[in-house]
Amino acid sequence: MYSGEEQTARVQFTLMQYDEKEFQEKDFHDPEECLSAIARDKVTWINVDGIHNTELIQRIGEKFGIHSLTLEDIVNTEQRPKFEEYETYLVSIMKMISYTGEIHSEQLSVVLFDNNTVVSFQEADGGDAFDIIRTRLRTGKGRVRKMGADYLAYCLIDAVVDYYFLALEKIGDRIESLEEELVHNPTKGTMQLLHSMKREMIFLRKAVWPMRELINNFERCESRLIKKTTRLFLRDLYDHTIRVIDTVETFRDLLSGMMDIYLSSVSNRMNEVMKVLTIISTIFIPVTFIAGVYGMNFKYMPELESPYGYWITWGVMLTIMITLIFYFKRKKWL
Amino acid sequence: MYSGEEQTARVQFTLMQYDEKEFQEKDFHDPEECLSAIARDKVTWINVDGIHNTELIQRIGEKFGIHSLTLEDIVNTEQRPKFEEYETYLVSIMKMISYTGEIHSEQLSVVLFDNNTVVSFQEADGGDAFDIIRTRLRTGKGRVRKMGADYLAYCLIDAVVDYYFLALEKIGDRIESLEEELVHNPTKGTMQLLHSMKREMIFLRKAVWPMRELINNFERCESRLIKKTTRLFLRDLYDHTIRVIDTVETFRDLLSGMMDIYLSSVSNRMNEVMKVLTIISTIFIPVTFIAGVYGMNFKYMPELESPYGYWITWGVMLTIMITLIFYFKRKKWL
Amino acid sequence: MYSGEEQTARVQFTLMQYDEKEFQEKDFHDPEECLSAIARDKVTWINVDGIHNTELIQRIGEKFGIHSLTLEDIVNTEQRPKFEEYETYLVSIMKMISYTGEIHSEQLSVVLFDNNTVVSFQEADGGDAFDIIRTRLRTGKGRVRKMGADYLAYCLIDAVVDYYFLALEKIGDRIESLEEELVHNPTKGTMQLLHSMKREMIFLRKAVWPMRELINNFERCESRLIKKTTRLFLRDLYDHTIRVIDTVETFRDLLSGMMDIYLSSVSNRMNEVMKVLTIISTIFIPVTFIAGVYGMNFKYMPELESPYGYWITWGVMLTIMITLIFYFKRKKWL
Amino acid sequence: MYSGEEQTARVQFTLMQYDEKEFQEKDFHDPEECLSAIARDKVTWINVDGIHNTELIQRIGEKFGIHSLTLEDIVNTEQRPKFEEYETYLVSIMKMISYTGEIHSEQLSVVLFDNNTVVSFQEADGGDAFDIIRTRLRTGKGRVRKMGADYLAYCLIDAVVDYYFLALEKIGDRIESLEEELVHNPTKGTMQLLHSMKREMIFLRKAVWPMRELINNFERCESRLIKKTTRLFLRDLYDHTIRVIDTVETFRDLLSGMMDIYLSSVSNRMNEVMKVLTIISTIFIPVTFIAGVYGMNFKYMPELESPYGYWITWGVMLTIMITLIFYFKRKKWL
Amino acid sequence: MYSGEEQTARVQFTLMQYDEKEFQEKDFHDPEECLSAIARDKVTWINVDGIHNTELIQRIGEKFGIHSLTLEDIVNTEQRPKFEEYETYLVSIMKMISYTGEIHSEQLSVVLFDNNTVVSFQEADGGDAFDIIRTRLRTGKGRVRKMGADYLAYCLIDAVVDYYFLALEKIGDRIESLEEELVHNPTKGTMQLLHSMKREMIFLRKAVWPMRELINNFERCESRLIKKTTRLFLRDLYDHTIRVIDTVETFRDLLSGMMDIYLSSVSNRMNEVMKVLTIISTIFIPVTFIAGVYGMNFKYMPELESPYGYWITWGVMLTIMITLIFYFKRKKWL
């Protein structure tokens, strides 16, 4: 059922437990061991790295009473972002996006249980995005240690959305430099780059648009798992998602406009090529004809006998050429 | 009333009956025989292959109390996918899509009755799609033997949607190879292929978009025929359909973008042709003129008498040619 | 108030009365005569041919208690299709479409009264579309004789929608042949044909889209004039209308795509013309220059004296020409 | 606050009062005089010509208890069409459109009070549009004298919408003649005309789309000022507005299509020009080369000595030319 | 958390307090000082210039009980315009737009508290926009001194929307002059200007569209902080926002149409260039060939011997040239 690239890394369970005063952290490789280490009176976060091992995922899923459909969604990396409410838990499935020349996407699932527990599933360690949360948990800075599991779930999703901003910033820089290139030195490769960036925008849209619905449903769901104070934060997160979507749409509009620029600059260059051809041809074709006329071998051609014929002919030819050059100047072709 | 291609194959009724413990399977060619073989305390699935025989369809329809409008929809292969709720049954009419170079579509109707019975209608045997369900029924693997007729109906529709993914994967590969071709070797045929793929996308959209509404209505209908556990699966299936639609729309966007690439590569090639013409013309037209001048037959042309005239002329001509070549180099036309 | 083309034909009132057992049919030219012939215990259908005679329409309208606004709509052939509910009657105004090379449209109004009466208004005899209903009424085949006036109204609208399918089929054939022409032999006329078909699609959309709302409102209106069994048929008719709309939209998409093909085939032909010009010019311009050089009349040109000069020159010229031909072959221009 | 062009004309108040039996009409230049002439038991219509005099407008506004925001909207000629409900009155602000080569727009505000009074505000005398209403009021023809102030307000708005149809008809004729021009004799000016008509459509849309909402809100507002019989007329007027919008959208679609025709006809002409160039060049370049060859001055050129050389050369040149002409014929370039 | 450009200016708090009779105004640099100066029985407006000093913002926020999420939004200059309702205050975050060749945008936040207090936050002094309000407050002209804090909040937002109109007017002038340039003298720079104006429209849309929702939510929110009389003004402001949006959309449409004009004028110029080339080439190529023929050196060329050969040849060549000129005249290429 796992649909991502094949993976061999060992699955790792990271258990974090905390309340306002205490904080514990431990790594496990066996789900049962991890579960038995849970102390029930604290907020618990279990982060699972390695969703390719569907057998382990199923075992931990059963312990927590996760529906088999949810488990399928968690390990199916083609899954569309969505939020679902079950009786004992709420699940949010998202794409974590990073951008390093091209878009890299990873599936992240956050399950919030009614016993103050959050379980997050991902393939590789989404370390960078979650590091700030871990640091806050360890040091006790910020609000997170004072709040419940619902706030922790919010923090994880918030970290994902913040990562979108990072990726979009890099893409924005890329678009700007592409725009520069387009205006000053467009090549066939520019066009292909443009197309591949459009593709990436199509991909991003697919990842980002459902986030809006996800967070909206999260905020509005009537589950008692989410406290009122957390809902305020989710409302704020919703606005962030709208901003992400706005930016993606803006990028799409910009890329479409750049397409037009590209085509018009191709037309312009064609025009320039045509002008050079036309100017050279138009200047030399008439005078070449005149030279041809006096290259004829007729017996009786009075001009040929004249001592000034040659110079007069040159004069005529130069007059024609200069006249044409003036004509092109006036037409602003030169 | 049957609107598909003419068919001569004999209609076949396949009766499957099962509960958690037992499973029976039998083929019939006569509807009455088939119906009399039904044992009422089990889940019953009758698969009808051959909707071209409207007379037989009408006979079986009357036995089951299917409304004449529903029967018309079942045999009208131009029917739009839809879900309808009648008092004693729920009917889902869909398109089963397969892709082998071109899209092949077949109409499938699934009728769920209130006596734990499902009747499915199709023209040819949609064997491949349903084989997995049949195998599960025969072997008792998976959930299907433990659940009711509503779950069976879900399984049939799910098989159809899974087939969409298969078709879309093949189409995706095709688009990718077309994209490759477009960039490296676009021909007039590429354009026509692009157009025919666009047509196919138009067709697919027409088949896929109504599926969304269909499954949504199925899940939300207040009929007691659908149990709550099955509704969860239908909600999941709804998400799959959204993914199918997303993919179709993505393909449409990609094909539109490829159109632009095609047109721009046509422009680029035109540019290249023009450049060759311009370069050759521009280099040779001026020097041909000079040659023409000294081909004139004037009696008094002092240059002709000079012993170095010929070589000086060659020098001038070569200078012009080389200057122009440098000019084109600087303009990056060479 | 009548806004169609001027008409001189006499207005004809066709009265049909029936129940399950009996059927009567009679033509009148005087509305009062027609009305006095109505027997109250049967289903009554009065078909009025000739809405240009507004005075007669007004007289019959007053007898039936039709609101003056409705009468205006009936005779205004520019009317948009719509459904309206009045206290004593329901009125549906539609466009009947037929296609014979170009679209021919005629306005049809169907008024359903609460005394089991249907009055239909049209300009010319929409005979072909209604003939099947008349035949069924006369022969008693099908359901229509067993049902009430609401079912008759449904049948009339259904006949209109069926006529759309006929027209769309013809248009579909036309589009297909146009597509063929576009690929194999596009001319300036093809472009104009494309444009005029687009115009027709714009017209069709205007006629067809409101039908959806019309039938939806008809089905959903809470009037007691429509029985529950008829509503099922209206729901089915609604689906047919959606299919008509789908097809019109598909045709629009196809025509847009064909526009692209046309433009790209124009570009391709231009490319071909340019290539021929470039090849011929590029091959002959350099060698013509060489010929020009040895046509110069300088006294001291050593090559001219050489006995092999002519043949060597030919050799050089042929070499250049063959080299260029190979170059174009490699570039796939030949 | 008045935002239209400067005006110097004196403001005129036209007071009309009527019931089914009587009708009075009088012009005033002073608002207080006008108001004191009102007899309370009749329907009253005060038409104010000249909204540039904001001071007078404010005085009359205060007498009638019009909110200062409404007064601002009435004199602000940039106002978007809208309907608003206040406690003692309903106000509709519209654009009156006329078309004489270009679109001329004027703002009209109709205020319906709860004391059977309508006050209409406009800059110039919208005489033509309202003349038919005035005539009906004076002669007592039609319904208007029998109905209340709400029906009068409806009549005024209806007159505005009818004027839209007049303008659209003229624009439609213009588009048709432009289409003709485009096909048979497209010039650079045609393109600019097309663009300016597109601009006009953008303007028209802005004026027409809000009318739909305006009339819808008018019909649906729960004010007791509007009687049920008048609502029927408003519903009909709503349909007219939809038709106006439909027509504007159709014109937009047509103009877009004409843009495509223009571009394709430009391409076609370019093709034609290219063909002429290619044909002439291709026919003469090879034979000019041959002539060049035998114009060379080599000492040993055996062909030159042959008595038939000249004629054979002519033969070869003619053969080449004819062959090429046939080639172009076969390619359908000639 | 502050995301705008770095700022060093000192934060300034401007306190204004007023009722119908009195008005006080004072500047502070310390928030606590400012707060202690507030007299509770008057309407209070504190304008904060300098949101880059997040520490000061946080201090004042805490005094007023502003939620930390709101504070984050106030200092994050990338914030999307939005309205939010908290228990003790309403917050509106907007973009103030000014146009001086390019769009300059600044974030403005208006917080309305339940103790008759408005606090506005901005980076630089949005002086010009608010000056009119300050003048009215100081002089007591207009309504503002007679109304409460909710009306003041309305006035601030209204000033922002009025500034949009100013900016749009300038942009409209720019578009008009660009249109002129496009028709009479299009250059490569015009295209880039067009593109950059499109970018600005994309930016403006992002700022303007959410304003609609903002003001709608403001008007419709059920908070007791907004009095009924103020709601009327907000409804009017909503209409203004719709007009702003309409104008932005109109500009977008115009710019798209100008793109088409640009491309068609590029095509037209290409056509013109091609025509000149074709005319010159076509006229001279055939006659050059004839000259070439009689430049051949065959021994036996009877025409060369004829005393009239030369003149006859000239006659033929001139005939060809004149014929071709007539041909081009007829084709309207000249």
DSSP-assigned beta bridge partners for residue E110: E92, E120
pLDDT at B161: 94
pLDDT-above-90 percentage for chain D = 54
Closest among C271, E192, B265 to A188, alpha carbons compared? B265
pLDDT at A50: 85
pLDDT at C112: 96
**How many other C-beta atoms can be found within 10 angstroms of the C-beta atom of residue C40?**
9
Query: Is the pLDDT score of A334 beyond 80?
Result: no
Query: Is the pLDDT score of E127 beyond 60?
Result: no
pLDDT at C127: 57
- Whole-angstrom distance, CA of residue B277 vs CA of residue C125: 66
State the average pLDDT over residues A256-274: 85
CB–CB contact A271 E276 (8 Å): no
> For strand D12-18 and strand D43-49, is the pairing parallel, antiparallel, or unpaired?
antiparallel
In the 8-state DSSP scheme, what is residue E331?
Answer: T
CA distance to D295, D313, E299, per residue, from D319 (Å): 20, 10, 22
CA distance to C175, C293, C303, D285, D299, per residue, from D304 (Å): 63, 18, 17, 22, 10
- Whole-angstrom distance, CA of residue E249 vs CA of residue D206: 10
E308 shares contact with chain D (CB less than 8 Å): no
Phi-psi region of B50 (alpha: psi -120 to 50; beta: other; left: phi over 0): left
Query: Is the pLDDT score of C204 beyond 90?
Result: yes
Residue A224 CA from chain centroid, whole number: 36
pLDDT-above-90 percentage for chain C = 54
CA distance A160 to chain E (A): 18
Amino acid at E265: S
Q: Dmax over Cα atoms in chain A, in whole Å?
A: 121
State the average pLDDT over residues C283-289: 94
Q: Are B262 and B186 in contact (CB under 8 A)?
A: yes
For E154, the 3-state DSSP assignment is helix
Q: What is the pLDDT of residues E27-82, one digit of tens each?
A: 998 888 888 888 888 999 999 988 888 888 888 999 899 999 999 999 888 889 99
Q: Which E positions 221-240 lie with beta carbon below 8 A of chain D?
A: 232-233, 235-236, 239
D257 half-sphere exposure, CB direction, 13 A CA radius: 27
D82 shares contact with chain E (CB less than 8 Å): yes
Query: Is the pLDDT score of E140 beyond 90?
Result: no
State the average pLDDT over residues B233-257: 93
State the sign of the Cα–Cα–Cα–Cα dihedral D300, D303, D307, D311: negative
pLDDT at C5: 67
Closest among D116, D113, D147, D142 to D229, alpha carbons compared? D147
Q: What is the pLDDT of residues A129-181, one digit of tens each?
A: 888 899 999 998 888 899 999 999 999 999 999 999 999 999 999 999 998 88
The pTM of this model reads 0.85
CB–CB contact B254 A296 (8 Å): no
- Whole-angstrom distance, CA of residue A103 vs CA of residue A171: 9
Q: What is the pLDDT of residues B153-200, one digit of tens each?
A: 999 999 999 999 999 999 999 999 998 888 777 887 888 888 889 999
pLDDT at D108: 92
- Whole-angstrom distance, CA of residue A15 vs CA of residue A9: 19
Closest among C24, C39, C20 to C134, alpha carbons compared? C24
B36 shares contact with chain A (CB less than 8 Å): no
Query: Is the pLDDT score of A17 beyond 80?
Result: yes
Indicate the pLDDT class of residue C12, thresholds 50, 70 and 90: confident
- Joined together, the tokens standing for residue A255 give 């890329």
Which residues, other chains included, contact E5 with Cβ-Cβ below 8 Å and sequence gap of 6+?
Answer: none
State the average pLDDT over residues C216-230: 91
pLDDT at C160: 93
Indicate the pLDDT class of residue D95, thresholds 50, 70 and 90: very high
Q: Which helix H or strand E contains D102, and what residues bound it?
A: strand D102-113
E192 shares contact with chain D (CB less than 8 Å): no
Please name the member of C79, C192, C277 whose beta carbon is closest to the beta carbon of D282. Answer: C277
pLDDT at D6: 66
CA distance D173 to chain E (A): 22
pLDDT at D167: 92
Closest among A49, A36, A43 to A9, alpha carbons compared? A49
Q: Which of B280, B298, B301 to mutate to test the interface with C (most CBs of C within 10 A)?
A: B280
Residues of chain C in contact with residue D246, where contact means CB-CB under 8 angstroms, are 80, 206
Indicate the pLDDT class of residue A5, thresholds 50, 70 and 90: low
Closest among D161, D100, D168 to D130, alpha carbons compared? D161
Q: What is the pLDDT of residues C172-190, one digit of tens each?
A: 999 999 988 887 778 878 8
- Joined together, the tokens standing for residue A263 give 């085509």
Which residues, other chains included, contact E97 with Cβ-Cβ below 8 Å and sequence gap of 6+?
Answer: E103, E104, E105, E163, E164, E167, E204, E207
Query: Is the pLDDT score of E5 beyond 80?
Result: no
Q: Is C6 exposed, middle or buried (0-12, 13-18, 19+ CB in 10 A)?
A: exposed
C305 shares contact with chain D (CB less than 8 Å): yes
Amino acid at B216: N
Indicate the pLDDT class of residue D8, thresholds 50, 70 and 90: low
- Whole-angstrom distance, CA of residue A108 vs CA of residue A87: 21
CB–CB contact C264 B267 (8 Å): no
pLDDT at B16: 93
Q: Are B259 and B194 in contact (CB under 8 A)?
A: yes
Query: Is the pLDDT score of A249 beyond 80?
Result: yes
SS (HEC) of B107-164: EEEEEEECCCEEEEEECCCCHHHHHHHHHHHHHCCCCHHHCCHHHHHHHHHHHHHHHH
Indicate the pLDDT class of residue D323, thresholds 50, 70 and 90: very high
pLDDT at A115: 87
Closest among D215, D209, D281 to D244, alpha carbons compared? D209
Phi first, then psi, for residue B83 (nearest 5°) are -120, 135
pLDDT-above-70 percentage for chain A = 97
D65 half-sphere exposure, CB direction, 13 A CA radius: 10
CB–CB contact D266 E261 (8 Å): no
Q: Mean pLDDT in chain C?
A: 89
Please name the member of E254, E274, E285 whose beta carbon is closest to the beta carbon of D281. Answer: E285
Q: Mean pLDDT in chain D?
A: 89
For A10, the 3-state DSSP assignment is coil
Phi-psi region of E50 (alpha: psi -120 to 50; beta: other; left: phi over 0): left
E strands within chain E? 12-18, 23-28, 43-49, 82-85, 89-100, 102-113, 117-122
D267 shares contact with chain C (CB less than 8 Å): yes
Q: Which of D254, D272, D296, D300 to mutate to test the interface with C (most CBs of C within 10 A)?
A: D296
Q: What is the pLDDT of residues D253-297, one digit of tens each?
A: 999 888 888 888 888 888 888 889 999 999 999 999 999 999 999
> For strand E43-49 and strand E117-122, is the pairing parallel, antiparallel, or unpaired?
parallel
Q: Which helix H or strand E contains A122, and what residues bound it?
A: strand A117-122
Query: Is the pLDDT score of D331 beyond 90?
Result: no
In the block, which residue shows the tokens 């003349």?
A: D131
Query: Is the pLDDT score of D7 beyond 90?
Result: no
Indicate the pLDDT class of residue D168, thresholds 50, 70 and 90: very high
Closest among A226, A92, A235, A247 to A166, alpha carbons compared? A247
DSSP-assigned beta bridge partners for residue A158: none
Q: Which of E296, E304, E306, E328 to mutate to test the interface with D (most CBs of D within 10 A)?
A: E296
Q: Are B289 and A291 in contact (CB under 8 A)?
A: yes
State the average pLDDT over residues A124-128: 63
Which residues, other chains included, contact E4 with Cβ-Cβ below 8 Å and sequence gap of 6+?
Answer: E51, E52, E77, E107, E123
State the average pLDDT over residues A270-284: 90
Q: Nearest residue on chain E to A269, judged by CA atoms?
A: E188
A278 half-sphere exposure, CB direction, 13 A CA radius: 25
State the average pLDDT over residues D60-70: 91
State the average pLDDT over residues B313-334: 92
Position with higher pLDDT, C263 vs A227: A227
Which residues, other chains included, contact C33 with Cβ-Cβ below 8 Å and sequence gap of 6+?
Answer: none
What is the separation, in whole angstroms, between the first and last Cα of chain E?
68
- Joined together, the tokens standing for residue A123 give 């393939």
Indicate the pLDDT class of residue B315, thresholds 50, 70 and 90: very high
Residues of chain D in contact with residue E271, where contact means CB-CB under 8 angstroms, are 266, 269-270, 273
Among A119-123, B213-217, E142-146, top mean pLDDT goes to: B213-217
Residues of chain A in contact with residue E297, where contact means CB-CB under 8 angstroms, are 297
State the average pLDDT over residues E162-188: 88
Position with higher pLDDT, D65 vs A264: D65
pLDDT at B115: 87
pLDDT at A186: 80
The ipTM estimated for the assembled molecules is 0.80
- Whole-angstrom distance, CA of residue C132 vs CA of residue C234: 19
B292 shares contact with chain A (CB less than 8 Å): yes
CA distance A261 to chain E (A): 7
Query: Is the pLDDT score of D212 beyond 90?
Result: yes
B288 half-sphere exposure, CB direction, 13 A CA radius: 30
State the average pLDDT over residues B95-116: 90
CA distance C20 to chain D (A): 38
Q: What is the pLDDT of residues B82-94, one digit of tens each?
A: 999 998 999 999 9
pLDDT at A1: 62
Query: Is the pLDDT score of A95 beyond 70?
Result: yes
Q: Please, which contacts does D193-198 make with residues 24 or more away whose CB atoms are closer than 8 Å?
A: D194/D255, D194/D258, D194/D259, D194/D262, D195/E257, D195/E258, D195/E260, D195/E261, D197/D171, D197/D255, D198/D252, D198/D255, D198/E253, D198/E257
pLDDT at C8: 67
Residues of chain C in contact with residue B84, where contact means CB-CB under 8 angstroms, are 235
pLDDT at C310: 92
Query: Is the pLDDT score of E214 beyond 90?
Result: yes
State the average pLDDT over residues A6-31: 86
Q: Which helix H or strand E contains C89, and what residues bound it?
A: strand C89-100
pLDDT at B6: 66
A199 shares contact with chain B (CB less than 8 Å): yes
pLDDT at E6: 66
- Whole-angstrom distance, CA of residue C104 vs CA of residue C125: 14
